[in-house]
Each structure stands twice: as structure tokens, then as C-alpha cells.
Structure 1
Amino acid sequence: MGGPWAVVAVLFAFMLLHQTDKLLLGPLTTEIMNTFHIGEDLMGLASTAALLVGLFLYPLWGYLADRFARPALIALASFIWGATTWLSAIAPTYPLFLLTRASTGIDDNAYPSLYSLISDYFGPQLRSRIYGFLQMTGPVGYLMGVALALGLKDLIGWRAIYLITGSLGLIMALLIWRVVREVPRGRSEPELAALAEIPAYRFNLHEVRALLRKPTFLFLVTQGFFGVFPWNVISFWFFRYLEVERGYSNAQIFVVMASAVIVMSLGYLAGGAMGDWLFRRTLRGRLIVSMAGVLAGAVLLAITMSIPPQAFGAFWAMVILTAFTIPLAAPNVLATVFDISPPEIRGSAQALESFIEGSGASLAPFLTGLLAVRTSLHTAILTICVGTWLLCGFLFALAIWSAPRDIMALRAELRARAAQAASGS
């Protein structure tokens, strides 16, 4: 049986390799387009198809996370990742590639089990930092994908690369099954810490309905609808933008993307650490960090993309600065959702939040491709990213206003549960 930090290490490895496989599509875009003789619109559709499949399965994964053993669900997701990636690697035609690529979305949104489980291993004062550490896997996975694409695409081809990453999914499924163990829901909550035995909590539809009436949750999921647009746009299209519209070499692209990803990874850690630190001083702390991050990202990206291609050094420096601000909100949003959600519905709460995020963000690669065909990738990326970040800043301001009341309401509910359990009634 693995202890808390062993569990974190295994889940980090799972997420890192899974994100590497998932985000390989961007760096391999040109090769796949050449293989099937398709344009940006159909290539964007392949990414959107996988996002849509994952989107519609989010509520199911969330419900399962609140009903069944979470480690088994995470292992199942890893197995599905490996199997569907293999199928997409051997697809001989674009229609079959589109179908198999869509099937890779089945496992993409199985994270409610993972994040809910972590919330029961670590208490509220640490969650933003742990989530920030785990969410580093997004940018680091992208960097690994870029490295794999640049290093192996001309040597073994994009299909063989996917066969390798699919095999890793099968290996991780076995490792998760052997190491990660279930713990009682609510075990890490301070209000329940004094109980000798924590009651078994399971999915409760009444609690879900109550969550949907909390203003903070509504503000967060609304900003999430728009907030994931930039990440999906940048992760899918930025490689091609640097390659085609800025005319940078493979070496220049790797330098830009690698340094940006390293700094972005630090941004996840810094965002989580700043959020936890400010949360200990004010219940609004995590959301203050979130609002600052999205507003800074909007301003800095606009400046970055106004720099001419020949000024490579200035562009590179601004990309690095922008990259640091992009992830500041992510660990704090997730931690805040759990700050206002009872333990037995945290899988469903995260699934609902991510479902609403994905319902908008799943269209981002396709819409960007459509806009790029009519204008340019520069215009498409800038318009979508800056516009959505500014809107998110306003929605975070509303959540900052409502958060303390919703957080205190949950803490009062947990204290009441503890008193009831202690009295034996």
C-alpha cells in the first residue's frame, strides 16, 4: 500500500504521460495533415471530436468517482488511454483516424476520481499546492510531446510515436492498481479530524442541487466555460503558428516552447503556493490570485504577439513572462470548488465544473482553425485568448465577493456532521 506521497508520485506519473499522449496532436499536426491530405479545418475537427467525447462522459466519470473505488476507476482510465491510442495509431484513412481519435476522449476526463481522492489525502491548507504540482503535468507533458515529435517524427513517424505512448498507458494501469489505495471520503477535513471513525459518505443528489445554488460555484463554472479556451488554442495551434506564420526553425521553436513550458510549470507551483498562503489570511485569497493571473495573461499575450518575427529575443522573453501567468488560476479554482463542496460529491462537483468548461473549450481548436482560414493564426489566437481572459477576470471578481459565505456554510455543515457522528445519533 502506498502512503500519501507515493500516491501523489504515481498519479503525477500517470497524468504526465497521459498529458504527453493527449497533447502530442499539436506538435504532430503537420505530419498528420500531410498523411491524410487535409486542411486546418479537418485537423481541428479531429481534436474537437476527442474533446467532445470526453466532455459528454465527464458527468459519468464524476458520478462513478462518488459511488465506487476511485483507484480502480483511475486504473481503468489508464487502460482505455493505452488501447484507444493504439487504435488511432494504426488508422489507415482520415475517417477512421477521426473516429479513433474521438475514442481517445473516453478516458481524457477521468480526473474527478483522482482529484477527489487527493482531497481526502491532503487537507484544505495544502490542496492548492498539491493540485498545482499535479497540474504541472499539462505543460510538462506538452514539452515532452514536442520533444518526442521533433526527435522521432522524422525517424520513426507519428504512428510509431503513438504506439509507444499507448503502451505506457497500459503499464501505468497496472502500476496504479498495485500502489494507489482508497481512503474514506472526508478524512482530511479538519472538522472531522477528531472522529475515531468517519462515516461512509456516498453520492447525494440533494447536495449536488445545493451546490448548484451556491453563487461561488456558478461564477467559477461560468468563467471556466471561457477560461479553458486559451489553453486549448495555444496547446493545439501555437506550434504551427511559430512554424508557419513566424517562420521559426525547429531549433527556435523548441527553445521557445521548452522555456515557456518550464516557466509555466513553475507558474502552477507558484499559483498553488500563493493561493494557499493568501487563503490562510483571507478566504478570498485563492480567487484573488486567480483574477490577477488571467488579467496579467491577457495584457502580456497582446504585447507578446505584437512583437515582429525578426525580434526573436524580445518575443522569446515575452513568451516566458506570459507563460508564468497563464496557470496561476488553475490550482486555486479546483481547490475553491472543493472548499465549497461536501466530500461525497467532490467528484461530481469537479465533473460539473469541467463539463461546463469543456462545453465551450471543446470548440476552441475548430473555431480557431475556421478563423485562421479566413484571417490568420495570429489574429485567431490573439482574439480568442485575450477576449476570454478579460471576461474571466470579471467573473473572478464576482466569485471573490461570494466565496467567504459559501466556504463558511460548508464548514458549518461539516461541524454539524461531526457532532452528530460523535453523539452516535
Structure 2
Amino acid sequence: RRRRAAAAAAERPLGWRAPFALVALPGLLTSLLVKLIVSEPKRGGYSSTSYKKEDHFSEKLSLRKLRAVFQIPTNCLIFIQGVFGCVPWSVLNTFLADYLHTDRGLSEGGAAAVLGAFSAGYAVGTVAGGVASQHLYNRRKGLEMTFCGVITALGTLPFFFILEGTGGRRSGLPLAPLAFLGGLGRPAGPALRAAAMNVNPADNIGTMFSVVSLSDDLGKGIGPVVVAALISLTSRVQAFKIGFGCWFFCGFFIILMFWTVPKDEQKLQRPRFDSFCDDRVAVDGAEACCRQNKCVVLERF
């Protein structure tokens, strides 16, 4: 619905071919920027178990690798929050534009403007959230998850105001700032992907992201079914409120990663330090690895 509304807004002044080019343009520009400014990282360069055996990585999916993925608590929390997250995203992607146009009286262009404001806020929130999460991670591992969880929960509130509002212009301009704020409240993506990379060994990261991608695709199909079932049981607005409310659960499970991310990272890196350290000592409430009379703090409790 959102893509159709955006296409309708662009079609009138530019013709029916323009939306196809406009939709593809951001992806092409992003690909070009990645090609120009991003260097290919050394595969397995930071792995504690296979960083010297990068040529021996297996690309085959196996039950052993799947079992290893779900034995890591952080991975499980990522999947659980993703299950709840598919419902509000389905409201946004499938139902909200039609609701704004049909029930709230906005024009197709007005509905597209509201969702466009959300997309702009989402882009800003993703970048700003990634920068803030990295800063907090450098201060203390896990703080970035608390930040993302709280913002994810608070970012749900603008959508309740959008649903509760009455009247408004057909242009949708009064609702655009709320939608922008709702987009800002989605900063968790970069932090979750970084956490997944930091807690999984290099030879199993591909399996982890394959499962995440599969669950996302399933969520795109199951989410609208759940929302449609809620609409049949309640009203449209109540169903959307329940759907957006699922982001509170996402925030809760992301906050729980404050405790799991440091432990899972330490567990992954411990074999590397065990082979490197001559001795371990306690320094100001922290565990330190010592080698040749030099000590490095491993984890602060």
C-alpha cells in the first residue's frame, strides 16, 4: 500500500514510468557508495576460533550450525523480538496507507506524505542510532541495547496519536511530524546486526543471518494474517493499536540483551585469550589477561 501510494503521488506529474526509476534509484546510489568507500573486510579476521583458517570455512547449512545458533542467548532474543516486530511492520507496510486514505480522508498523496515522513525518520534514526549505539558500546558493552530498547518502546507512542487523531487535512501534513518521530524510534537495526556478528563465530555468522532473513520473509507473510485476524475480532483501529503495541515487547527483549551481549561476546573470545594469556589477575574488579608483564582488561563486572 505504501509503495502504491508513493507511486500514485509520483505518477501524476511525472508519468507512469517514473515510479519504477524512483524506487530503484536509492538502491543504485547506495550500491555505488558502498563500492567507492567501503573496503572488503578480511573474512574471519576477528574470530577467536577460526581467524587463521579462513580458507576452511564451510558454506553448507547443517543441523549442527542451526543448533549452535540457538544455543546463544542473544540470538534467541533477536529472534523473539523479531517475531513481535513483524506485526507492527505489517500494519505500516500493508494497512496504514489504506486506513489513512479510506478512514481518515487523506488523499493518496497525503497518505504517501505521511509514510514518506516515516521513511525519512527511519533513515535518520537508523544512522543516528548506529552512531549512538557504537558510542555506548565503547563505553560499556550492553548499554547500546538498553538505549535501543527504550527508544524502540517510546517510538511506538507517535503511532497511537496518529490513530487517535480526528479530522485533519487531506494533505496529511499535520500527521507527518508524528510519523517522522515514529521513524526516529526505530534505531535498533544496526545494533542488532552488530550484536549478531559479535556473538557468533565467523564460520557461523552466515547461518545466523540466513535464519534471520528466512524469519523476516516468513514475518512478511504471517504478520498481515495476524493483523487481519485482529481486525476481524476487534475494530480496525484497535487492531492497529495492538499491532503497534507489539513494539513494546520488542523493546523489552532488546533491553534484556544488556545482560546477554557482554557474556556471549566474552564466551566467544575466551578461547583466543586462553591461548594467549600467561596468567589472569583481578584488577579493580575486572578480569585481566597478562602476558610478558603486560595486562589487558578482558571484562569489567
Fold match, TM over 0.5?
yes
Matches within 5 A, 1:275-354: 275-310=133-168, 314-325=174-185, 327-354=186-213
Q: 1:27 and 2:3 equivalent?
A: yes
Task: After superposition, give the CA deviation of every residue in 1:103-152 in whole Å (9 maximum; x if it has no partner).
Answer: xxxxxxxxxxxxxxxxxxxxxxxxxxxxxxxxxxxxxxxxxxx2x44222
Partner of 1:214: 72
- 1:163–1:308 Cα change, 3 Å: closer
Name the amino acid aligned to 1:280.
N
Greater percentage in helix: 1
What is the alpha-carbon root mean square deviation over aligned residues? Answer: 3.8
Contact preservation (8 Å) 1:290, 1:328? yes
Q: 1:385 and 2:244 equivalent?
A: yes
After TM superposition, the score normalised by the length of structure 2 is 0.73
Note the C-alpha offset of 1:232.
2.8
Contact preservation (8 Å) 1:272, 1:331? yes
Q: 1:356 and 2:215 equivalent?
A: yes
- 1:306–1:165 Cα change, 3 Å: closer
Contact preservation (8 Å) 2:152, 2:251? yes
Q: Secondary structure at the match of 1:248?
A: coil
Contact preservation (8 Å) 1:226, 1:360? no
Using the TM superposition, name which of 205-214 and 392-401 deviates more.
205-214
Matches within 5 A, 1:165-244: 184-187=42-45, 189=46, 199-203=54-58, 206=64, 208-244=66-102
Q: Where in structure 1 are there 5+ consecutive unaligned residues? A: 1-24, 30-145, 420-425
The share of aligned pairs that are identical, in percent, is: 20
Aligned residues: 268
Note the C-alpha offset of 1:300.
3.0
Contact preservation (8 Å) 2:8, 2:108? no
Greater percentage in strand: 2
Larger radius of gyration: 2
- 1:416–1:375 Cα change, 3 Å: same
Name the amino acid aligned to 1:238.
L
In 1, the alpha carbon distance for the partners of 2:22 and 2:203 equals 34
Contact preservation (8 Å) 1:207, 1:342? no
Note the C-alpha offset of 1:288.
1.2
Q: Where in structure 2 are there 5+ consecutive unaligned residues? A: 278-301
After TM superposition, the score normalised by the length of structure 1 is 0.53
In 1, the alpha carbon distance for the partners of 2:8 and 2:275 equals 52
Note the C-alpha offset of 1:370.
4.6
Name the amino acid aligned to 2:176.
W
Note the C-alpha offset of 1:271.
1.1
Which of 235, 248, 261 in structure 1 is aligned with 2:106?
Answer: 248
In 2, the alpha carbon distance for the partners of 1:287 and 1:217 equals 13
Name the amino acid aligned to 2:179.
V
